[in-house]
Amino acid sequence: MGTVIVTEQQEHRAWYLIYTKPRQEEAARDNLGRQGFHAWLPRVRVVKRRGTRRVPVVEPMFPRYLFVELDSAYQDWSPISSTLGVTSLVRFGGVPAKVPGPLVAALQARADEDDICDLSARQQPRAGDTVRVAHGAFAGYEAVFQARSGRERVLVLLEVAGKQSRVTLPADDIDPV
């Protein structure tokens, strides 16, 4: 097996958190990048309700936060706080908050070339599992998952007025219990 060579400069590199102004995550990332900082903004695809329609949108995974990789020994961090879009470097007790490298690496492994993370690996319910209806007319009810009925729909057993009924719902409307 090969030997990994770590330079002195790599030893001092770590990921930190940046707190941004509201809805300014992308501007902060871009402005930090123009100053030579390596900033990363993980994003996710979600479905939002706009009236009666469901609209797919891409938004930051962690609203108002982004990651920045900094070198504690060789890099001047002072420009960060005055960068457009940035509120501050996140600190605890005055010390910049380090983010574990393996956490960032795991998120980056799930991201595509546009930094959109795939979260679809969430545990899919199996027949007989209890689920909670999160949206719609049956919001708040618990049901028994039966099966997927197509790509975006699921079939559940829902107890209404003392009787179990089969109901087809959008897959996004249920959450595991």
Residue 158, domain CATH: 2.30.30.30
Same domain, 35 and 92: yes
Structural domain including 139 reads 129-176
Kindly tell me if the per-residue pLDDT of 6 is higher than 50: no
Is residue 40 situated within a structural domain? yes
Read off the pLDDT of residues 20-64 as tens digits, 9 standing for 90 and up: 999 999 999 999 999 999 999 999 988 787 887 878 889 999 999
Give mean pLDDT, residues 147-156.
80
Counting DSSP H helices and E strands in the chain, the numbers are 3, 15
Banded pLDDT at 10 (limits 50, 70, 90): low
Is residue 134 situated within a structural domain? yes
Ranges 75-79, 136-140, 148-152: which has the least confidence: 148-152
Same domain, 161 and 92: no
**How far apart are the C-alpha atoms of 168 and 176, rounded to whole Å?**
16
128 CB contacts (<8 Å, ≥6 apart)? 144, 145
Residue that terminates a domain, selected from 67, 83, 117: 117
Q: Tokens 């920045």 appear where?
A: 68
pLDDT of residue 141: 87
Work out how many domains the chain is built from and give that number: 2
CA-nearest of 169, 11, 30, 29 to 101 is: 11
Q: Is 148 helix (H, G, I), strand (E, B) or coil?
A: strand
Same domain, 89 and 163: no
Report the percentage of the chain scoring pLDDT > 90: 41
Same domain, 106 and 143: no
CA atoms within 13 A on the CB side of 14: 12
Same domain, 75 and 33: yes
Both tokens assigned to 79: 């420009």
Same domain, 109 and 134: no
Kindly tell me if the per-residue pLDDT of 121 is higher than 60: no
The 10 Å CB-count burial string (b at 16+, else e) for 155-172 is bbebeeeeeeeebebeeb
Mean confidence (pLDDT) of the chain? 86
CA atoms within 13 A on the CB side of 173: 23
Read off the pLDDT of residues 77-115 as tens digits, 9 standing for 90 and up: 989 999 999 999 999 999 999 999 999 998 898 888 999
Q: Tokens 């123009």 appear where?
A: 34
Single pTM value for the model:
0.64
Both tokens assigned to 9: 């400069």
pLDDT of residue 120: 62
Angle CA 81–84–89, to nearest 5: 30
